[in-house]
Chains A and B, each alone.
Chain A
Amino acid sequence: MTRLACVLVLVSLGSVVLLALDTTGWNAILFSFVGAPLLVAGVFVYVVQRWREGAFRIAQPSPRETQIRKESA
């Protein structure tokens, strides 16, 4: 997944480099209609991967921690 996300974002950045080197109509088309969707796809793939790894879950206290808190209260 990381490899796919990196390739997608790399290709999209290629369109930015092309545009910066030579701002022509076709490079603008590549930037807008190829690079932008690839960037969105790359970021999406990476965010999905991180989500599956549990990066965006709110940390829940373990049952043992809950028990200790109850006992100390």
Chain B
Amino acid sequence: MVILLWGVARGRLSEAAGATGLVFLPIGAYALGMLLLMEDSKRVTFCGSCHVMTPILQSLHEDNGSLASIHFRRGRVSHEEACFVCHSGYGIWGTANAKWAGIRHMLHTITGHYERPLQLSGPFDINSCLSCHAQAANFRAVEAHQAIDLQEALMAREMSCTGACHPSAHPEEAIAAGAPAS
């Protein structure tokens, strides 16, 4: 920054100062910023910082019977990264897709183009559920989960955990609410 301020004041820089202050250090700082953003954007507070997500974030703390609230209040998901744990999908491509989705979210926020009630973009990746539940004894003990038809439908992604069997992930009023993106 000192080099840049010097450049603004004097209107010229030496070759070494120019390359350092205008190219290498800023690009390095930006790369570090990108890493910071990659990590910090997993946080619940980051997701809730946009107005459209605030009611959903608040609903996590309420005893409203939604799947997200049940998991959050019982400490089944990290309180730091609850949104990312469930919505990123499983594995490295889940993380990559979550980052891509984040760019789309930013564009929606800039343009204010959010339709309510909010809709999940694409099908929910139930591997996020099954990666914890599939091997759990109490999950396997449920008679409905032992049905071959149901297991095939789940594996083929023809049905999801929420909807017919389990309550919706977030309360309807939280999904429909939220101040317009500003």
Contact = CB atoms under 8 A, between A and B. Distances in A.
Interface of A: 2-3, 5-7, 9-10, 12-13, 15-16, 19-20, 23-26, 28-29, 31-33, 35-36, 39, 42-43, 46-47, 50, 55
Smallest CB-CB A-B distances: 6 pairs: A6-B7, A24-B49, A23-B40, A25-B50, A16-B33, A25-B49
Contacts of B15: 55
A26 to B, nearest CB: 7
Contact of A28 (B5, B12, B26, B37): B37
A58 B67 CA distance: 66
A3 B8 CA distance: 5
Contacts of A33: 106, 110
A25 B109 contact: yes
A23 B44 CA distance: 11
Interface size class of B (residues with CB under 8 A): 20 to 34
Contacts of B33: 15-16, 19-20, 31
A50 B15 CA distance: 9
Given A6-B4, A25-B105, A55-B15, 14 more contacts: A6-B21, A7-B8, A10-B8, A12-B30, A16-B29, A20-B36, A23-B37, A23-B46, A25-B47, A28-B37, A29-B109, A31-B33, A46-B23, A47-B23
Contacts of B36: 19-20, 23
A12 B26 contact: yes
B1 A13 contact: yes
B13 interface: yes
Interface of B: 1, 4-5, 7-8, 11-13, 15, 18, 21-23, 26-27, 29-30, 32-33, 36-37, 40-41, 43, 46-47, 49-50, 103, 105-106, 109-110
Given A9-B22, A19-B33, A46-B22, A25 B7 contact: no
A6 B26 contact: no
